[in-house]
Structure 1
Amino acid sequence: GDTRIEALDNSLFDKLQVFDGDISPMLEPDNNAIAIAVSLDDYGNLRNPEYYPKVGDTITVTYADDVKYIDSRTGELTEVTPEEYFQEKLYGARDVEYTVCALVNLPNSMSYRYSGFGYDVVLSVDTAQRDSGGAAIPMLYLFDTADEVDEAEAEQYLSKLTAGEFSPLMYESKATARSEFAQFRQMFLLIGGILCAIIGLVGLLNFFNAMMTSILSRRREFAVLQAVGMTNRQLKTMLIYEGLFYAMSSVSAAFILSLAVGPLAGKMLGSMFWFFEYRFTILPVLLTIPVFLLLGWLIPCMMYDNAAKCSVVEQLRDAQ
């Protein structure tokens, strides 16, 4: 299959993560050693290890001075040639055998960032130039900075160097990676905030509806209590205590559900996103306490004041 070869300067081999074998043979002069670049999942685990060659295996790489496509039927490619008849023709082809010395993982900043059929392999620049017969043309440059001050200066320099809509240069850095991740994080915060706001609004409306229904359904009961001697103040106080009881019961239930469901949801999200870390916070529950207490006090007061405009006789007649 197609093999993607990436040639590295010797100083970059320290950046490789070695899973098996040893990369030191590739640094020796006149070597025929090669490393297989493996693919990891988001948690750093090797996927499909059986797919890759083993350390010590021999693989053959074919180099060519030129590659052209021809029509497999006629030998010449035309604009009307169907794609199924496209055939590669190699000029100056020669095979070179390499011994696999290691399985390695390339940092994303050093890789091709795409894959296809065949293997991704790593060679030293000297070996690649020797076997390909051509000069190595840099695909990308890598820079290390000593500290945050140097990092900021390098960021400013590269930003100016690549500025302009038609600049042929582009760069990536820790700052650009942080910015992209911050935008990705903002998306979760926005969607999660909207969902929480909707659920919170539904909960408040349900709480409001439950309290109003409870009071309205017991209008006859309240009228009877007033008829046998309960004062307006006592009735109002009883309704307020009921409202506050409902409010604290709702907050307690929310707190218990958060303790029970939170870790499960956190574990599920942690398995979906490698960067997610569950951390329980009681702040949202604490913020809802004054809201529910206010509603637990306000709704009974409003309902009582509205009912108090009618006499006990009228309330009994309306309740019937």
Structure 2
Amino acid sequence: LANLGRNKKRTILVLISLSLSLVLLNTVFTLSQSIDMDKFLSKFVDTDFLIAHADYFQNEFRGPENQTSESFIKAVEAQPGFEEGVRLYGGRAEMFAVEDEKNTTQGYNINSNGDFMAAVYGLENLPNQRLELIDGELDFEKLATGKYILEGVKLDDNGVPQMASAHFAVGETLTLYNYKGTSQTFADREYTTKEFTVLGHVSIKTYANSDRTGWDYNFYLPAEVYKTFVERPAVMSYAFNVSKDHEAEMESFLQSYTDKVEPVMNYTSKFTALNEFSGMRNTVVMIGGALSFIIGLIGVLNFINANLTSIMTRRKEFAMMQSIGMTRKQLRSMLMHEGFFYSFGTCVLSLAFGTIFSLLIVKPFCGMLWFFSYQFILWPLLIVLPFLVVLGAIIPLVLYTLTDKQSIVERLQEVE
């Protein structure tokens, strides 16, 4: 141990370089294990599959000209394992507007009458799992009367409702306007006005139950009520579930159908979301692993250089000790112990710094990203450290063997 203190700077450099790579390795695996699959999936999918026109997935859905085709829907419903499906109606071709006298600050998305442009969706089979109630109630019978409406509320990245984005309270009355029809001029369209009572607030899931645009005013109606307000109802998307034993089969069918039968159609699913999730996790591991390997290689090279330098500069010392009775076996044992102390020091520093860095840096970082749920782990270190101990003992032994080619007399004479 005293020999390691001869060149403290070199010893510290070796320990830090070796420890740094291990801390980075542990950090990489901590980040990869902290990516929360459930959080990731909940943001992008709420059913097994969702089909729509390809424009929808590029945030360019408008209406009848790029709606989900009935032929695609019928083909899906005819597949084995199909359980239930829900059409979501919407579009910008027959835009809605809402009167809101309380909003005196917004200066955009306003029509010529001073009303605010709004996204209104018609959803089949209300209520169902596609609408997550925040407050109020989901009463299908009330909604079916055409007197009630649900207001959509935006969610932050962590899925927490941003109630400041809600414009009307539960029980409050609002007025919707719409120029019904598809004529190029508003004068040729039927101007409709309808009052609704807000029955409740529901979550807007950008990638599941909206047109992915991000309107300031968002409302949901039963599909049959929605259809009375538009001349040409357009199916924006169709979400459906299948039995578990037919999920892979349905995925294969959709891939083939959108490639060969209707290329303008597309789909998302739990599988595509999982592939994105796996790709993101693999990217973190690949990039972080490469950096860990490079820094670790530098650390090992520093360790080899430190041992080689120590052996070469102590050749006379070794020769003198052997001349007074130290055997080659004892000398090798001494060098192996020195390497072991390097490894032991690296183990202590890696575990200490790895724990501190994980709790003080990685944990807060994970809290800043919506798809992370921090997991404290040290198993990557515990797996690697035994190999490091073995390496620390073997490298000095190998280096000494490679440099020990002269007799004791030759080494003493060489130094003199």
TM range (shorter): 0.7 to 0.9
Secondary structure at the aligned position of 1:181 is classed as helix
Which of 350, 354, 357 in structure 2 is aligned with 1:254?
Answer: 350
Q: How much does 1:102 deviate?
A: 1.1
Residue equivalent to 2:132: 17
For residue 379 of structure 2, what is the aligned residue in structure 1? 282
2:165 aligned partner, one-letter code: Y
1:60-209 matches, within 5 Å, as 60-65=175-180, 91-107=189-205, 108-116=207-215, 118-130=216-228, 132-145=229-242, 147-164=243-260, 167-209=263-305
SS in 1 for 2:239: coil
Counterpart-to-counterpart distance in 2, 1:188 and 1:90: 56
Deviations 1:127-175 (A, max 9, x none): 2223x25242322222222x31133343343333323286222222222
Q: Deviation at 1:237?
A: 2.5
Amino acid paired to 1:298: I
**C-alpha displacement of 1:197:** 1.3
Structure 1 runs of 4+ with >6 Å offset: 67-70
* Paired residue secondary structure (2:161): coil
Within 1, Cα distance between the matches of 2:143 and 2:370? 41
Q: Give the TM-score taking structure 1 as reference length.
A: 0.78
SS at the partner of 2:340? helix
- Tell me the residue number matched to 2:57: none
Aligned residue in 1 for 2:174:
59
Q: 1:226 to 1:29 in 2, by over 3 A?
A: closer
What's the offset of the Cα at 1:224?
4.4
Give distance in 2, aligned partners of 1:61 and 1:10: 22
Structure 2 length as normaliser, TM-score? 0.62
Distance 1:115 1:26, change over 3 A: farther
Q: 1:252-274, CA deviations, whole angstroms, 9 ceiling, x for partnerless residues? A: 33233333333444413431242
CA distance in 2, matches of 1:29, 1:93: 22
Deviations 1:231-254 (A, max 9, x none): 444333222221222223323332
Q: Is the 8 A contact 2:127 2:138 kept in 1?
A: no
The 1:11/1:23 distance shift into structure 2, 3 A limit, reads closer
Cα distance in 2, alignment partners of residues 266 and 17 from structure 1: 32
CA, structure 1 residues 222+34, in 2 after alignment: closer, same or farther (shift >3 Å)?
A: same
CA RMSD of aligned residues (A): 3.2
* CA drift at 1:3: 0.7
Residues in 2 aligned to 1:185 and 1:310: alpha-carbon distance in whole angstroms = 56
Contact 1:125 1:136 in 2 (8 A): no
1:133–1:262 CA distance, 2 compared to 1 (3 A): closer
Deviation at 1:122, TM superposition (A): 0.8
| Partner in structure 1 of residue 403 of structure 2 | 306
Answer yes or no: is 1:50 the counterpart of 2:164: yes
Q: Is the 8 A contact 2:335 2:396 kept in 1?
A: no
Residues 170/222 of structure 1: CA separation in 2 closer, same or farther (3 Å cut): same
Number of equivalent positions: 298
1:243 maps onto 2:348 in alignment: no
Amino acid paired to 1:306: T
Q: Which has the larger radius of gyration?
A: 1
CA drift at 1:314: 4.3
CA distance in 2, matches of 1:203, 1:9: 62
Please state how far the C-alpha of 1:4 moved relative to its aligned partner. 0.8
CA distance in 2, matches of 1:2, 1:283: 54
Distance 1:155 1:141 in 2: 15
- Letter in structure 1 aligned against 2:208: S
CA–CA separation in structure 1 for the residues paired with 2:145 and 2:232: 17
Instruction: Map Cα deviations across residues 60-95 of structure 1 (whole Å, 9 max, x no partner).
Output: 32201358889xxxxxxxxxxxxxxxxx98844343
